[in-house]
Structure 1
Amino acid sequence: MDKRRLGRTDLKVTSIGAGCWPIGGACSNLEMGAGWDGVNPTEALNALEYAFKKGVNVFDTADVYGLGESEKMLGHILKKCIKGGIVKRSDIILSSKVGYFAVDGIYGFDPEYMEQQLKQSLKNLQTDYIDIYFFHHQNFGANDDYLEGALETMKKFQRDGVIRFIGLRGPHKFSVDRRKKVESHNEMDKFMRLVDFIDPDVIGVRYNMISPSYDKNPENNIFSWAEETDRGVVTYKPLGQGLLLKKHDPDSPPKFSKDDHRSRKAWFKSKGLEELNSRLKVIGEHFQCKQTADFVRLALSYCLGRSNHHCTLVGFKTQQQLSDAIQTKITPLTPEEMDYIREIFEDIHSRIGKFIKFAA
């Protein structure tokens, strides 16, 4: 795979990285489903090893994914591949996150708790440093009470050599705020305020054909801003967690346990799938998508064409899912084609309601 410079980090990253959230399995956090059903640990480990062998060099996880299981799986296979001479640790870029793992009475960005979580992540990953360590969300408490301490803790981690670069999640509403129906302020304004204070090396942004268009308007063009400021961008959910592959039947929507985060998402209900699939049918005809691989190609081409300073993370539970992404031939889209796709999905959010719906 081709490699790209991840902004001022000077890290050379493969255009496609391995998103390791799904392999953590089903779990609950913050009184919500936070994981994925249907994970076969053996298949997941085989998929990880396949990614290393195929040259993927970006592996993204978090302390909260599977409540540590994702990190442990990744650490196990990383150690195996290093020992087997398949990779060198210096050639691999490990990304993890802190802030979401809930413990009663302790805020995720409490400095002492952050230190505890990093130590556990290093142990899980069987490494002595993490290349990119993300603030997993942007809620630093009332009046940002935890912000200064959290940033100083991150800088201490850098000085101690246990992390290399600081990451910040892009404009995105905190899950607890969504659940409590907290009023949303201008997410871009909040993000830019935090950027000015934290000065992150890398930002993480959810970006796909149905996500908010962070590149549509000049004032919201994160990709142009990142290039101007020489910051790396890591995008995630390029396939919309499989929704953009037109594989679900609205008449028989998938069923999930309460510990699977998809159980609360309107996209996976009949109405959401109807709206999605009707648009994917139009797009599929326009771009001649006749099979799943064609939709994978289109979705990844949409994401990777935005900037040469970013990579996109493909989530997976099986080797086949990773292979479909790694083996696909990226076809650059013209500005007109990008606009066409945006127009098709323009009103979908208002038609099916909010992206996440919580039970009372």
Structure 2
Amino acid sequence: MSTSFRTLGRSGLQVSAIGFGAWAIGGPFMARGKPAGWGQVDDEESVAAVHRALDLGVTFFDTADVYGTGHSERVLSRALSGRWDEVVIATKFGLTFDAATRTLTGQDVSPGYIRQACRASLERLGTDHIDLYQLHVGDAPLERVDELIATLEELVDEGLIRAYGWSTDDPERAAAFAKGPHCAAVQHNLNVLHDAPAMLTVCDTHELASVNRGPLAMGLLSGKYGPESRLPMDDVRGDSPQWMTFFRDGRPAPEFLAMLDAIRDILTSGGRTLAQGALGWLLARSGRTVPIPGIRTPGQAEQNAGALRHGPLDPAQLAQIDEVLERQVN
């Protein structure tokens, strides 16, 4: 498998094997009265991070209309100006928001709203098409799938999007979406501490890309956090919503810290940083994976792009990690 580029499922689009997750550069926003962003950001630094990633060979950028209630898309527009021919851009739809108050307000997967959201994202991004348009409602009803696919296929026919996918951790939903002719990917949680063999099987069966959110376990695999770490309350991890298993009450979950300590030496072999080893595990786990670590500084861009240089872990290292974590091999 190539260590630098991957094919984005059935779309045929070539992307860097490691992408750029743009949630953090959206800055603060709220959901159900709690922070949903990663704290304050410096837009100049965000633009510099995008430029550094591009210069180091990162070509896949993943955002969503709700990140900073539109701000992430606008920052990417500014950073990618004049360089659109170098990149593949992915964004998401389905969650509603009030940009004036930077607050999420609900969800809407109706055909009319999807069209409205698509055109709004195109305007914020400053481009004429979206390469990968992803449903952001992970538990959207299965009975809506045919209607969703029909609407997305119309957007493909109109040239507004090139392919689509679902951001969900449910293999049944991913498989249902895969019947759409231009469905190319599923975005799901996957990292060395949280394997997802059933979802990877769906990706193999239906020739979908596996776009990996949480590839560094929300930062835990960066090595920056220990038992005494406490995340600030303006950070989504600080209030630790229930779905965020890697942090609890604003602190790293002890059971995951213990797992990390057990495999640290394997991940950091060969001169890799901990994050580069974690990304190397993902590149080795499947030829379909495209991890999208969150990046908001040039230094983070350099570290994550360095994983492209090191490439995948080897099969023996994968087997050793499974053995240490007492994980069944799939």
For the criterion TM > 0.5, the same-fold answer is yes
**Which residue is equivalent to 1:244?**
221
Q: Partners in 2 of 1:335 and 1:243 — Cα distance?
A: 24
Q: CA deviation digits over 1:241-276, x for unaligned, max 9?
A: 21012211322422222x635522453347744333
Moved more, 148-157 or 310-319: 148-157
Structure with greater helix percent: 1
Is the contact made by 2:171 and 2:202 (CA closer than 8 Å) also made in structure 1?
no
Pairwise CA distance, 1:90: 3.2
What are structure 2's unaligned runs of at least 5 residues? 99-103
Whether 2:317 is the aligned partner of 1:337: answer yes
Is the Cα contact below 8 Å between 1:96 and 1:132 reproduced in 2?
yes
User: Could you tell me the TM-score, scaled by structure 2's length?
Assistant: 0.84
The question of whether the paired residues in 1 share the 8 Å contact of 2:211 and 2:289 is answered with: yes
Pairwise CA RMSD:
2.8
AA matched with 1:118: C
- The answer on 1:188 being equivalent to 2:171 is yes
Contact 1:64/1:101 (8 A) holds in 2: yes
Matched, 1:275 2:251: no
Aligned-partner Cα distance in 2 for 1:105–1:113: 14
**CA spacing shift, 1:314–1:339, aligned 2, 3 Å:** same
Which has the larger strand fraction? Answer: 2
The count of corresponding residues between Structure 1 and Structure 2 is 315
**Equivalence for 2:278:** 299
Q: Distance in 2 between matches of 1:288 and 1:321?
A: 17
Superposition deviation, residue 339 in structure 1: 3.9
The answer for the alignment partner of 1:285 in structure 2 is: 265
Moved over 6 A (4+): 103-106
Aligned-partner residue type, residue 299 of structure 1: A
Deviation at 1:309, TM superposition (A): 3.1
Contiguous gaps of at least 5 residues in structure 1:
173-186, 348-360
Deviation, structure 1 residue 123: 0.8
CA shift in 2, pair 1:295/1:163, >3 Å = same
Paired AA for residue 259 in structure 2: R
**TM-score, normalization: structure 1?**
0.78
Contact 2:95/2:106 (CA < 8 Å) preserved in 1?
no
User: Matched residues in 1 for 2:116 and 2:192: separation?
Assistant: 37
Which stretch has the larger CA shift, 153-162 or 333-342?
Answer: 333-342
Q: Which moved more, 1:326-335 or 1:90-99?
A: 326-335
Could you tell me which residue of structure 1 aligns to residue 122 of structure 2? 122
How far does residue 119 in structure 1 lie from its aligned partner after superposition? Answer: 1.2
Aligned pairs for 1:94-243 (under 5 A) are 94-102=89-97, 107-141=107-141, 144=143, 146-170=144-168, 172=169, 187-196=170-179, 200-211=183-194, 213-215=195-197, 220=198, 222-243=199-220
Return the alpha-carbon distance in structure 2 between the equivalents of residues 210 and 280 of structure 1: 7
| Counterpart residue identity of residue 44, structure 2 | T
3-state SS in 2 of match to 1:117? helix
Which secondary structure does the structure 2 equivalent of 1:95 belong to? strand
* Distance in 2 separating the partners of 1:290 and 1:101: 45
Q: Counterpart of 1:134 in 2: which secondary structure?
A: strand
Q: Please give the alpha-carbon distance, in whole angstroms, between the structure 2 residues aligned to 1:227 and 1:8.
A: 11
Tell which deviates more after alignment, 68-77 or 47-56.
47-56
CA contact (8 A) 2:107 2:137 kept: no
| 1:283/1:310 CA distance change after superposition, 3 Å | closer
- Determine the C-alpha separation between the residues in 2 that align with 1:50 and 1:313: 15
User: Structure 2: how far apart are the matches of 1:93 and 1:277?
Assistant: 34
Task: Please say if 1:263 is aligned against 2:242.
Answer: no
The residue identity in structure 2 corresponding to 1:156 is E
